[in-house]
A and B are shown apart, each in its own frame.
Chain A
Amino acid sequence: EIVLTQSPDTLSLSPGERATLSCRASQSITSNYLDWYQQKPGQAPRLLIYGASSRATGIPDRFSGSGSGTDFTLTISRLEPEDFAVYYCQQFGSSPCTFGQGTKLEIK
């Protein structure tokens, strides 16, 4: 199975700053089937980015995704207070679907 490793585990930033989150795969992900989710406490994960770089419906354009093969990045251009949460990458290029361990984005 493909193992996804996210870095860093925790990222401490202030509102208005730029956030860069990384997701590295143990092998190349077919067709860039790499997605990003945001999860806040007590809530279900929410799809942000699919296919490595396409924003899901209703997602602000400060969120962007990039990368291919084994290295992917989620960028939040200017952090808003509501962006502080846990972020997961997930792949379904090959079965089984796997998730990264998550990056916690916290307020500095």
Chain B
Amino acid sequence: QVQLVQSGSELKKPGASVIVSCKASGYTFTDNGMTWVRQAPGQGPEWMGWINTNTGNPTYAQGFTGRFVFSLDTSVSTAYLQISSLKAEDTAVYYCARFNRYLDYWGQGTLVTVSS
């Protein structure tokens, strides 16, 4: 069965960096793109962009350029989200989701808390 398993919660200080991983199993990793979605506390989901798992080409939504980087390690079927220069407003749950023109499988989410 298809599974996306994300890395655990992170507590970071402002200015630090964080990497969230998303390991896929149960399907051919390069058959589908991978999307990243942010959900701030009490808010709805927000699409951050997606990465083409064949080419490694990322597409970033407006508001997620510069400090946000999507990457892959196809040898271990894993996608990564790196956020640098963390700010308090980056506190949120970050989800990876398999991209099929719709988001049919989701990771369990990774809570990133930014606090001094």
Name A's B-contacting residues (CB within 8 A): 1, 33, 35, 37, 39, 44-47, 50-51, 56-57, 88, 90, 92, 95-102
Sampled A-B contacts (10; CB under 8 Å): A1-B62, A44-B97, A44-B106, A44-B109, A47-B104, A56-B104, A96-B47, A97-B47, A97-B61, A99-B47
Chain B hits for A51, CB < 8 A: 102
When the two chains form their complex, are residues B108 and A92 in contact, meaning their CB atoms are under 8 A apart?
A: no
When the two chains form their complex, are residues A47 and B103 in contact, meaning their CB atoms are under 8 A apart?
A: yes
Measured CA separation A39–B49 after assembly (Å): 20
In which size bucket is the chain B interface? 10 to 19
Chain B hits for A56, CB < 8 A: 104
Chain A nearest Cβ from B113, distance in angstroms: 15
When the two chains form their complex, are residues A88 and B47 in contact, meaning their CB atoms are under 8 A apart?
A: no
Q: Does residue B44 face the partner (Cβ distance < 8 Å to A)?
A: yes
Contact with A along B73-101 (1 / 0, CB 8 A): 00000000000000000000001010001
Chain B hits for A97, CB < 8 A: 35, 47, 61
Measured CA separation A97–B97 after assembly (Å): 13
- A45/B45 contact (C-beta < 8 A), A96-B61, A96-B62 known: yes
Chain A hits for B97, CB < 8 A: 44
Measured CA separation A57–B104 after assembly (Å): 9
When the two chains form their complex, are residues A50 and B102 in contact, meaning their CB atoms are under 8 A apart?
A: yes
